[in-house]
């Protein structure tokens, strides 16, 4: 094996990792702050559970909590743990990496002469997020979310929102539970002690950092051993260019706050639909993110996310090509 | 008399392990911020963020360690087997990152990437030719593609040797907008007076621009009068 190529992969790995770690830390700090200031996450349960309004409200939270796609995984996890409606948490998870001031500003800075892109990127991100949230609603929560996340989430949910089969024997056999008891939210949550906050935040960061390491390693190896020019060679063909740029977004794994600048370097070589596809898919899923998302979603949910996001982005890209070409 | 809480021995205390691991991640970021490797990996705008995150992680690590020793509840928390595994893998990776600094081959990296073709509109045209960097030249030629405009202009540029398929190597630089993962090469053709230097070698060229006719039509080429081998600059990436 070519040692120069291996050394380059190692450098790429370090570049991706060191760039992403601060953003991951920001996400964990936001998540810890939410746990401290809103213990029990009562406000999270006030978010709408409507199939479309839920994801829209989650997406809108991106403006309040600016985190890129690595940082928003711990925040979305905290939303789910706090009892936020699934659609709202998924809407945040998938749309917030684009719908936040930093990412919109960087897109504007990179493409000041393409106002359609400034509108199409956030709109497309919302469409993808709502579409994915609708798709993932079809899977029962117990089969969608990871077991430990589900266990924490059930502590925050009112009993009426936990299905009978999912309740533990103590509740099922308790008898005498009236309707009032079923709709009652858990008792007033207490603010976590600093020791609890540090334990939870520390474990979360360490676990996510390790998953990030694996994702960056994978992304660096694929980037080094698959020449990028192969992907860009099909730049002019409408459908192929979209598929190629989607694949590139999966492989490159750069943070959503700077991916517009990367897109700028090949914008002239590809179709407008492909350019938008690159800017939409990367923030939802890439090699670096697979491990992190695996902390929230079971493999079935992860596969559905990848397939659903790819299909939606392909359709949006095709539509843009019909409009702009 | 209240019984004392049972405390696991020091190495088994979960809070101490957490503190140690956070300190290792802090070490990765702080070491990267001080040993110059960030200049090789990330655009300068991100450097303060990395250093700040390192300091914050160090602070959090110290607080965790203190809790593991002082706070009764935290000190009683016993590390699980899963945490032991987390400890091993994290120690291995963080130490590998600290001990093995990045040494990428720019020629290897550039060989796999498409050329950067952005034209900078706010380019400063008042720069005298001899003060233009390689990137300035490439962008200038992109916005003013007529080679005759620049024939005979003096050139003083530096870059690495980038092998080209089917033609002589060029002198090149990598442009980075975020991190090394998005690096895109820019290069200028050179008419080498003798055998070209090996790939990845950094050079400082002095000479003149000349126009040649090739398969791609008339193009500018650097005619070096002086070639100096140099070490890779401390900040080899260009924005």
State phi, psi for B211 to the nearest 5 degrees: -105, 130
Q: Which of residues 50-109 of B touch A (CB under 8 A)?
A: 50, 52-53, 56-57, 60, 63-64, 67, 71, 73-74, 77, 86, 89-90, 93, 97, 100, 102-105, 107-109
B181/A308 Cα distance (integer angstroms):
26
C-alpha dihedral sign at A220, A69, A256, A323 = positive
Rounded (10°) angle between helices B81-99 and A194-225: 50
- Chain B contact for A134 (CB, 8 A cutoff): no
A104/A256 Cα distance (integer angstroms):
10
Task: Please answer yes or no on whether B118 and A2 come within 8 Å at the CB atom.
Answer: no
Say what the pLDDT of residue B39 is.
92
End-to-end CA distance of chain A, in Å?
A: 43
pLDDT digit string, tens, across residues A243-275: 988 998 888 887 787 788 778 767 777 889 999
Residue the block writes with tokens 């702050």: A33
Say what the pLDDT of residue A231 is.
67
Q: How far is CA A310 from CA A69, A230, A279, A319, in A?
A: 17, 20, 12, 14
B177/A311 Cα distance (integer angstroms):
29
Indicate if the pLDDT at residue A182 is higher than 70. no
Task: Indicate the DSSP class of residue A193.
Answer: P
Which residues pair with residue B13 across a beta bridge? B78
Indicate if the pLDDT at residue A158 is higher than 50. yes
Q: Which of residues 242-281 of A touch B (CB under 8 A)?
A: 252-255, 258-259, 261-262, 264-269
- Please give the average per-residue pLDDT across A140-149, as a whole number: 91
Please, which pLDDT band fits residue A162 given cuts at 50, 70 and 90?
A: low
Residue A45: half-sphere exposure toward Cβ, Cα within 13 Å: 19
β-strand B217-230 against B237-238: which pairing, if any?
A: unpaired
Indicate if the pLDDT at residue A229 is higher than 60. yes
The nearest alpha carbon in chain A to B38 belongs to A15
Q: Which of A133-142, A206-215, B48-57 has the lowest mean pLDDT?
A: A206-215
A219/A12 Cα distance (integer angstroms):
9
Q: Which of A15, A29, A267 sits opposite B181 (nearest CB)?
A: A15
Burial B88-124 (b: 16+ CB within 10 A, else e): eebeebbeebeeebbebbbbbbbbbbbbbbbeeeebe
Indicate if the pLDDT at residue B186 is higher than 50. yes
Query: B46, B111, B182: which to substitute to probe chain A, counting the most A Cβ within 10 Å?
Result: B182
Q: Which of residues 170-189 of B touch A (CB under 8 A)?
A: 175, 177-182, 184
State phi, psi for B173 to the nearest 5 degrees: -135, 160
Structure-model confidence comparison of residues B51 and B215, the more confident one: B51
- Chain B contact for A25 (CB, 8 A cutoff): yes
Question: How many other C-beta atoms are found inside a 10 Å radius of the C-beta of residue A32?
Answer: 21
Q: What is the pTM of this model?
A: 0.80
Write down the mean pLDDT value for chain B: 86
3-class DSSP assignment, residue A97: coil
* A280, A125 Cβ separation under 8 angstroms: yes
Closest among B42, B177, B235 to A11, alpha carbons compared: B42
A25/A66 Cα distance (integer angstroms):
13
Residue A240: half-sphere exposure toward Cβ, Cα within 13 Å: 9
What are the boundaries of each domain within chain A? Answer: 3-169+194-324
The nearest alpha carbon in chain A to B119 belongs to A265
pLDDT digit string, tens, across residues B141-177: 888 778 888 888 999 999 999 998 888 999 999 988 7
Residue A278: half-sphere exposure toward Cβ, Cα within 13 Å: 32
pLDDT digit string, tens, across residues A183-226: 444 455 567 788 888 888 898 899 888 888 888 888 888 888 87
The nearest alpha carbon in chain A to B102 belongs to A11
Instruction: Using an 8 Å CB-CB cutoff, list chain A residues near B105.
Output: 4-5, 7-8
B42/A18 Cα distance (integer angstroms):
8
Closest among A238, A187, A223, A254 to A18, alpha carbons compared: A254
The interface predicted TM-score of the complex, written ipTM, equals 0.89
* A129, A285 Cβ separation under 8 angstroms: no
Biggest CA-to-CA distance, chain A: 71
| Burial class of residue B39 in the structure, from the number of CB atoms within 10 Å of its CB (0-12 exposed, 13-18 middle, 19+ buried) | middle
- Please give the average per-residue pLDDT across A218-236, as a whole number: 75
- Chain B contact for A232 (CB, 8 A cutoff): yes
C-alpha dihedral sign at A99, A102, A108, A111 = negative
Instruction: Using an 8 Å CB-CB cutoff, list chain A residues near B53.
Output: 21-22, 25-26
Q: Which two tokens stand for residue A217?
A: 């390693």
State phi, psi for B222 to the nearest 5 degrees: -85, 125
- Helix residue ranges per DSSP H, A174-236: 179-183, 194-225, 228-232
pLDDT digit string, tens, across residues B200-232: 999 999 999 999 887 777 888 999 999 999 999
- Chain A contact for B210 (CB, 8 A cutoff): no
Burial A283-309 (b: 16+ CB within 10 A, else e): bbbbbbbbbbbbbbbbeebbebbbebb
Task: Please answer yes or no on whether A11 and B25 come within 8 Å at the CB atom.
Answer: no
């Amino acid at each position: 094996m070519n040692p120069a190529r291996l050394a380059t992969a190692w450098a790429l790995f370090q570049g991706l990792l060191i760039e992403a770690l601060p953003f991951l830390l920001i996400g964990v700090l936001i998540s810890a702050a939410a746990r401290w200031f809103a213990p029990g996450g009562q406000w999270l349960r006030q978010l709408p559970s409507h199939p479309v309004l839920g994801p829209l409200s989650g997406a809108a939270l991106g403006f309040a909590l600016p985190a890129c796609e690595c940082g928003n995984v711990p925040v979305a996890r905290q939303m789910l743990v706090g009892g936020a409606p699934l659609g709202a948490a998924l809407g945040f998870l998938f749309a917030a990496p684009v719908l936040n001031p930093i990412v919109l500003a960087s897109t504007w800075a990179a493409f000041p002469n393409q106002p359609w892109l400034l509108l199409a990127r956030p709109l497309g991100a919302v469409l993808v997020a709502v579409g994915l949230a609708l798709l993932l609603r079809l899977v029962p929560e117990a089969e969608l979310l990871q077991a430990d996340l589900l266990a924490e989430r059930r502590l925050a949910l009112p009993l009426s929102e936990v299905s009978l089969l999912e309740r533990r024997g103590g509740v099922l056999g308790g008898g005498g539970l009236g309707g009032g008891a079923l709709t009652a939210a858990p008792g007033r949550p207490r603010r976590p002690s600093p020791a609890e906050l540090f334990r939870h935040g520390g474990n979360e960061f360490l676990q996510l950092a390790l998953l990030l390491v694996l994702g960056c390693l994978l992304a660096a190896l694929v980037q080094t051993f698959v020449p990028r020019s192969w992907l860009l060679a099909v730049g002019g063909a409408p459908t192929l260019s979209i598929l190629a740029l989607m694949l590139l977004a999966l492989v490159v794994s750069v943070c959503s706050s700077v991916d517009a600048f990367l897109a700028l370097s090949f914008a002239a070589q590809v179709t407008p639909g492909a350019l938008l596809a690159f800017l939409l898919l990367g923030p939802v899923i890439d090699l670096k993110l697979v491990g992190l998302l695996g902390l929230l979603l079971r493999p079935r949910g992860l596969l559905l996310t990848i397939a659903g996001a790819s299909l939606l982005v392909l359709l949006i890209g095709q539509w843009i090509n019909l409009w702009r070409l | 008399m209240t019984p004392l809480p049972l405390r696991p021995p020091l190495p088994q205390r979960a809070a101490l392990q957490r503190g140690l691991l956070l300190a290792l991640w802090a070490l990765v970021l702080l070491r990267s911020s001080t040993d110059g490797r960030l200049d090789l990996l990330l655009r300068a705008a991100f450097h303060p963020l990395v250093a700040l995150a390192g300091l914050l992680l160090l602070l959090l690590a110290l607080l965790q360690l203190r809790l593991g020793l002082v706070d009764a509840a935290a000190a009683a928390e016993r590390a699980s087997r899963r945490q032991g595994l987390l400890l091993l893998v994290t120690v291995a990776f963080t130490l590998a990152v600290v001990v093995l600094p990045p040494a990428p081959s720019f020629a290897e990296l550039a060989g796999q990437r498409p050329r950067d073709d952005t034209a900078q509109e706010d380019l400063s045209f008042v720069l005298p030719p001899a003060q233009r960097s390689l990137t300035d030249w490439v962008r200038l030629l992109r916005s003013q593609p007529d080679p005759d405009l620049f024939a005979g202009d003096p050139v003083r540029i530096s870059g690495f040797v980038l092998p080209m398929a089917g033609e002589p190597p060029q002198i090149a630089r990598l442009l980075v907008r975020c991190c090394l993962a998005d690096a895109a090469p820019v290069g200028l053709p050179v008419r080498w007076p003798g055998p070209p230097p090996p790939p990845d070698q950094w050079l400082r060229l002095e000479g003149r621009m000349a126009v040649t006719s090739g398969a791609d039509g008339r193009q500018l080429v650097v005619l070096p009068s002086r070639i100096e081998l140099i070490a890779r600059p401390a900040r080899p990436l260009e924005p």
